[in-house]
């Protein structure tokens, strides 16, 4: 049985990747960091009681800011594949906590690579690089586009990317970087723009919210569907030769277009509800990201399966259902959470 270790297991991508690997028969070990309240909501539905025979999903306390915890985990588990998804991943927040962001995103990656090298574990390594690294470089962006990062987060990701390439070249590590463009889902963090919009649509439709305050409506992003993107991560580690791949749909839309479509799904006119609040502007913006993912199509055979229109529909639909379930005071979600508490110590 192949064994995978995922940092950032409790995040959007980590939860989809866990499902994807369990479906393929892997034993999956997730790194979770200590928090004062439960932080495993996205994994509750796949929780397996470790006391039951046949359990293939395990969570371990560790932290990308704690090198010894990473080395211990690697030494004990000896995984075949490592997926480094852990990050302070919010671009705007990275301007407010730049040192922490760099510590987790840049040095955290180095700590994990170094732990891999020092423990001598023979494994394949995936680095979650980001289209934010391209920053102000004009679209379309591909693996060969020069980086021009525009935030502490993006600068830290450039370091994480370069150090991954360096460990590949210096030590022969099978290390690949996925330069992923924005990818979203109903599990997207609530403060990223897409989820902020789709939640607001559901709240407004049910009379729970009056206004939606947003920042720059003119920014263009290449938005895809997260489950498609975790498949690309896995495909990269199945190649004989490690390499870097840009992953995106090749289609960009403005934030305004996302807003308009999301409100239309709920039969609402966005102009009645959306206001611009400069608080959400960034000190430096990334105006236009759009992927040239032709290398991934050619080498990995990767294609996105969900269009922009479908993505918006899926996200609005799920947030509508969430609100309706909460309004009905259903017990199903509560039951899941209670069952999952067994994993916390
Ligand atoms: P996310 O939902 O924000 O998840 C981030 C994960 O990192 C969470 O599990 C978080 O744990 C964990 N984490 C944060 N600080 C940590 C630390 N000090 N030590 C260990 N783990 C830590 O992010 P995502 O959208 O799934 O993205 C996954 C990765 O891909 C990230 O590296 C992100 O930067 C990168 N990326 C994302 C996109 C995108 O569009 N989604 C595009 C390109 C690249 P908690 O749950 O405890 O907070
Ligand atoms: O912003 C604009 C904002 O925060 C998208 C992360 O996963 O993808 C993500 O980074 C755009 C920006 O994502 C609001 O100014 C307007 O232009 O959803 P976002 P991001 O910054 O593109 C990359 C690839 C990553 O790697 C990151 O980890 O939307 N925008 N109004 C807003 N953004 C937010 N968050 N909130 C607003 O109110």
> 233-254, pLDDT tens digit by residue?
999 999 999 999 999 999 999 9
Percentage above 70 pLDDT, the chain: 95
Question: Is 130 among the catalytic positions?
Answer: yes
Residue 161 has pLDDT above 80, yes or no: yes
Q: In the prediction, which pLDDT does 341 show?
A: 59
Per-residue pLDDT tens over the stretch 94-138: 999 999 999 999 999 999 999 999 999 999 999 999 999 999 999
289 lines ligand 2 (CB under 6 A): no
Instruction: Report the greatest alpha carbon distance in the chain.
Output: 59
Q: In the prediction, which pLDDT does 333 show?
A: 61
Residue 337 has pLDDT above 70, yes or no: no
Residue 306 has pLDDT above 90, yes or no: yes
Distance CA 176, CA 271 (A): 44
Q: Which single residue is written with the structure tokens 């049910």? A: 206
Please spell the DSSP secondary structure of 294-321, one letter per residue: HHIIIII-----S-HHHHHHHHHHHHHH
Distance CA 184, CA 307 (A): 12
Instruction: Calculate the alpha carbon distances from 129 to 42, 135, 144, 164 in Å.
Output: 22, 13, 14, 10
Q: How far is the CA of 82 from the centre of ligand 2 (A)?
A: 27
**pTM over 0.85, yes/no:** yes
Among 2-6, 35-39, 123-127, where is mean pLDDT lowest? 35-39
Catalytic residue among 19, 27, 132, 184: 132
Catalytic residue among 15, 69, 89, 130: 130
Q: What is the mean pLDDT of the chain?
A: 95
Instruction: Calculate the alpha carbon distances from 18 to 29, 32, 70, 72, 123 in Å.
Output: 9, 13, 19, 21, 18
Phi, psi of 323 (to 5 degrees): -65, -45
Q: In the prediction, which pLDDT does 140 show?
A: 98
């Amino acid at each position: 049985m192949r064994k995978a270790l995922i940092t950032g297991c409790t995040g959007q991508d980590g939860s989809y990747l866990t499902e994807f690997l369990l479906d393929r028969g892997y034993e999956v070990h997730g790194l979770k960091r200590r928090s004062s309240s439960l932080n495993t909501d996205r994994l509750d539905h796949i929780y397996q009681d470790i006391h039951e025979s046949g359990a293939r999903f395990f969570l371990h306390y560790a932290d990308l800011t704690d090198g010894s915890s990473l080395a211990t985990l690697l030494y004990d588990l000896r995984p075949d594949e490592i997926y480094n998804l852990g990050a302070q991943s919010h671009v705007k927040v990275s301007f407010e906590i730049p040192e922490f962001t760099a510590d987790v995103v840049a040095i955290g990656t180095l700590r994990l690579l170094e732990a891999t090298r020092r423990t001598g574990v023979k494994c394949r390594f995936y680095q979650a690089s980001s289209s934010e690294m391209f920053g102000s470089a004009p679209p379309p962006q591909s693996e060969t586009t020069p980086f021009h990062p525009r935030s502490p987060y993006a600068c830290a990701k450039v370091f994480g990317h370069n150090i991954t390439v360096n460990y590949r070249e210096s030590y022969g590590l099978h290390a690949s970087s996925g330069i992923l463009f924005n990818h979203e889902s109903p599990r997207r963090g609530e403060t990223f723009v897409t989820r902020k919009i789709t939640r607001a649509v559901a709240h407004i439709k049910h009379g729970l919210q009056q206004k939606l305050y947003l920042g720059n409506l003119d920014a263009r992003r290449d938005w895809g569907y997260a489950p498609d993107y975790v498949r690309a991560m896995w495909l990269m580690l199945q190649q004989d030769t490690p390499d870097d791949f840009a992953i995106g749909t090749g289609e960009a839309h403005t934030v305004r277009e996302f807003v308009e479509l999301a409100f239309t799904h709920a039969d609402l006119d966005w102009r009645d509800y959306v206001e611009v609040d400069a608080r959400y502007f960034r000190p430096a913006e990334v105006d236009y990201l759009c992927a040239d993912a032709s290398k991934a199509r050619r080498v990995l055979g990767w294609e996105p399966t969900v269009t922009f229109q479908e993505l918006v529909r899926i996200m609005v639909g799920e947030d509508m259902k969430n609100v309706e379930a909460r309004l009905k005071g259903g017990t199903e979600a509560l039951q899941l959470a209670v069952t999952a508490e067994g994993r916390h110590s």
